[in-house]
Structure 1
Amino acid sequence: MLLKSLALLACASCALAHGDHDHNQEPISGPHKSLWYNTIPGDGGTQADSVFSGISTFGRLPYFPCLASDEEKYDIAFIGAPFDTGTSYRPGARFGPSGIRQGSRKVRFSGGYNVPMDANPFNFWGKVIDCGDIPVTSYDNHYALQQIEEGHNALLTRTPYTAAKEPGISKSGKTLPRLITLGGDHTITLPLLRSINQAYGPISVIHFDSHLDTWKPKVFGGAPSKQAAINHGTYFYWASEEGLLANDSSIHAGIRTTLSGPSDYDNDGYCGFTRVEAREIDTIGINGIIERIRSRVGTKNPVYLSIDIDTLDPAFAPATGTPETGGWTTRELRTIIRGLEGINFVAADLVEVAPAYDTNAELTTMAAADVLYEVMTIMVKNGPLTLNATQADKEPKVIVDNEIKRW
């Protein structure tokens, strides 16, 4: 056992950024040795848990209470932020983290290999776990956002499982792990960006949503109090005011909402955003949307990815706080996400999943889980967040007119 442990440690210490060493992520449960069965008389076999059994973690990843202990290291961690008291229409996203985990049960049904991206995010150079949820009060929004910021930052600044001694792109010069946050309504992105700012400084944002979310508080919500001014439609306004966003390098994708007037677009530009409207998929196509996003943020600087599930049309994701018709299909969104391979994502969130409004077929939670599966794969393929990671290795291949080309 000692020799085996030493061998594992040695393997972890020499893992390279682009998958030269595999780390096979075992599912959270099974096989159960006490319940072995004989497949052939005289021959022992094992019975692993089915995807529909056991407790729910994202993709049946191992669970560890990361906020209670720092003994477990990771390169990518899933963390929930069950908060929904900043929403303006339909509440219920506090149950989003558990719903997304439930919808992710079959993500690795046949092993987890991502065919379009030619990678398995569950078998790679590092380690990914589910850290559970940040404890969030439902009685005090100010304190809740503080809990989310501090909880996220505590996990974001941990020593990673891989490449811990290599220089990284963070402000401290260290290599840090990546976090994927399960929302929660979109207000949670403000404390998450505050956490990111502590680690990386002002950052570019790719924001998938049907709404701008850069509204001035007096326009969205009326701002009767300081806390009411911070909600799921104004958080980017505050992020801009607090200097959390890199200058003029952020972009919305999937926008199709009504506005209070053309001045909303002016304020959006003031906050440093440009837009790709949902309807533009009919004119510039999927590849045109990908190109617009990539040209805006580039592949060198740190980027934060925030995905509102209402980017999808309600036909594909009905269980959300503020549904808007005319959105993209699940296939289209997943293809667009895959087209962002090579962008330097340091963290991500997926928000506004409100399972109470879903069908009993779990359409929304499955779509959310599958989108995050694509995000997770991109992070894995990009390697650890080290300073010497080469951008040439991060250029993705895409299929255009049946030919494989590079962006």
Structure 2
Amino acid sequence: MKVVSVLAAVMGVTTAQPAFWSSIASGGGLLNELYGSLLESHDSSSHDKASGLATQRFTLDAEEDEEFRARCGYYEHNPVTYPDDDLSSDLQLFAGIVSFAHVPIERCFDAAHGGAQYDIAVVGAPFDTAVSYRPGARFGPNSIRQGSRRLGGGFLPVRGFPGSKMRHLDPYNAGYKIVDCGDVPMTPFDNRIALNQLYRGQRAIYNRTTVKEDLKVPKVITLGGDHTVTLMALRAAHEHHGPVAVIHFDSHIDTWDPKVLGGGITKTQSINHGTFLHFAHERGYIAQDKSIHVGIRAPFIVESDEKHDHDCGFEKIVARDFDILNFREIVDTVKTRVGDLPVYITVDIDVLDIAVAPGTGTPEPGGLTARELLTVLDGLEGLNVIGADVVEVSPAFDSNGEITSIVAAQVVDSFLGLMTVH
């Protein structure tokens, strides 16, 4: 076969094209000979004016041997078509700035952009300096966004129970403007300042106006961060909704008396990822006797922990109840408990078994599967979910397959389903 013909075939041009011969004659080097047509401006390629696409073809010489023609015949009859310069329709899974599920990025904390409107805001809380075991959740928001790259549209045939409206729901195209606010700046050197920064960031998000007229304030989804960040999210939510019912998915109760967990050195250490619900109750952010834990399985520290937990307004469904009760019983118990109050859902990723979510700070064996968690979440359809978070994702302890980050992203997707279904 002819060398020139082979080069032409590789380049995707016909040997009759003047551009091909001129590139050979000009001595532009091997790169130009092999890829000259690819490097040409779109303006110099043939365009389909109707579609705006550039098409490049090549034709095999008649004298080429049959084996070569068999290998290249497909490309002869199926020319390469390049998109035009508008890349918005191209595959976006790995492209662009990473936001959660590719939703638009908004400057939510910048006073100069106070006119921005949205209905649901995703925001990161990169904080992990109030943990009792393994740090690393400050990198959780970024890892959850990375885990969400395949999300951003489409219908789930398993969303909700059979007959649910959610099975016909695409949360990202349901009439709500969803944005990613990025991460709140939080100092790693002083927990008091960091938590105040988070509160101010959450407050700024809530103070924006919505696109939907029937929505008074935006709904906020927080990506943690250790579980302490939920306290500031509840504080900001309380200012607009009053006392809320909390549905708390976790392996730990997190209502510990600070004298039992964290208060033995300084009072500033009293607020941590195991005591934040104690303080939320004490400050009145939580409605009395309307909240519930789901998935509890970690041991209590002292015998009085269970009574103190009840005094903070919580009942519980423990992890092994999932082996005894069916999903409808679990969901009905949760719904009955919270009633028609505004609901805040907080998911500590360690509610899942360590085989499902190894990337977390305080792993406990015997937890839920991803399917069990997502089934219960989707079953909460109909509740007035005003805010939510997923926390304690610590990517340094995750698998190479990023399974913790991926399931955490799917949890946020379930939040969006609950917030957008009518």
TM-score class, shorter:
0.7 to 0.9
- Gaps of at least 5 residues in structure 2 are 1-41, 44-51, 57-77, 160-165
On the 8 A contact 1:157/1:199 being kept in 2, the answer is no
Q: Select the residue among 202, 217, 232 that pairs with 1:176.
A: 217
CA distance in 2, matches of 1:355, 1:36: 42
Partner of 1:153: 203
Partner of 1:234: 275
Q: Select the residue among 102, 106, 109 that pairs with 1:64.
A: 106
Classify the secondary structure of the residue corresponding to 2:278: helix
Q: CA deviation at 1:64?
A: 1.6
Partner of 2:255: 214
Q: Select the residue among 354, 363, 367 that pairs with 1:314.
A: 354
What amino acid does structure 2 have at the position aligned with 1:326? Answer: G
Matched, 1:92 2:132: no
Q: CA deviation at 1:41?
A: 6.0
Classify the secondary structure of the residue corresponding to 1:227: helix
CA distance in 2, matches of 1:223, 1:339: 41
On the 8 A contact 2:346/2:389 being kept in 1, the answer is yes
What amino acid does structure 2 have at the position aligned with 1:184? Answer: G
Classify the secondary structure of the residue corresponding to 2:268: coil
Q: CA deviation at 1:286?
A: 2.0
Q: Which protein is bigger by CA-based radius of gyration?
A: 2
Q: CA deviation at 1:368?
A: 0.1
CA distance in 2, matches of 1:289, 1:357: 30
TM-score by length of 2: 0.77
- The CA deviation string for residues 96-120 of structure 1, in whole angstroms up to 9 with x for no partner, is 0000000000123xx4323232200
CA distance in 2, matches of 1:229, 1:293: 29
Q: CA deviation at 1:223?
A: 3.4
Partner of 2:374: 334
Greater mean deviation of Cα atoms: 281-290 or 226-235: 281-290
On the 8 A contact 2:116/2:209 being kept in 1, the answer is no
- Pair 371,37 (structure 1): closer, same or farther in 2 beyond 3 Å: farther
Matched, 1:101 2:145: yes
Q: Select the residue among 285, 297, 300 that pairs with 1:244.
A: 285
CA distance in 1, matches of 2:296, 2:245: 18
Q: CA deviation at 1:37?
A: 4.7
Classify the secondary structure of the residue corresponding to 2:257: coil
What amino acid does structure 1 have at the position aligned with 2:103? Answer: L
On the 8 A contact 2:186/2:197 being kept in 1, the answer is yes
CA distance in 2, matches of 1:177, 1:218: 36
CA distance in 1, matches of 2:219, 2:230: 15
Partner of 1:268: 309
On the 8 A contact 1:114/1:377 being kept in 2, the answer is no
Greater mean deviation of Cα atoms: 95-104 or 153-162: 153-162
CA RMSD in angstroms, aligned pairs only: 1.9
Q: How many residues align?
A: 338
On the 8 A contact 2:116/2:208 being kept in 1, the answer is no
What amino acid does structure 1 have at the position aligned with 2:193? Answer: Y
Partner of 1:49: 91
Greater mean deviation of Cα atoms: 218-227 or 289-298: 218-227
Q: CA deviation at 1:153?
A: 1.2
CA distance in 1, matches of 2:392, 2:252: 12
Classify the secondary structure of the residue corresponding to 1:228: helix
What amino acid does structure 1 have at the position aligned with 2:102? Answer: R
CA distance in 1, matches of 2:190, 2:55: 56
Structure having the higher helix fraction is 2
On the 8 A contact 1:81/1:136 being kept in 2, the answer is yes
Q: Select the residue among 123, 127, 130 that pairs with 1:79.
A: 123
Q: CA deviation at 1:36?
A: 5.5
Classify the secondary structure of the residue corresponding to 2:421: helix
On the 8 A contact 2:177/2:211 being kept in 1, the answer is yes
Matched, 1:122 2:163: no
Q: Select the residue among 179, 189, 193 that pairs with 1:143.
A: 193
CA distance in 1, matches of 2:319, 2:205: 34
Q: CA deviation at 1:42?
A: 10
CA distance in 2, matches of 1:276, 1:42: 58
CA distance in 2, matches of 1:42, 1:147: 52
On the 8 A contact 2:108/2:204 being kept in 1, the answer is no
What amino acid does structure 2 have at the position aligned with 1:57? Answer: S
Classify the secondary structure of the residue corresponding to 1:106: coil
Matched, 1:301 2:341: yes
Q: Select the residue among 346, 350, 374 that pairs with 2:390.
A: 350
CA distance in 2, matches of 1:218, 1:326: 28
Partner of 2:30: none
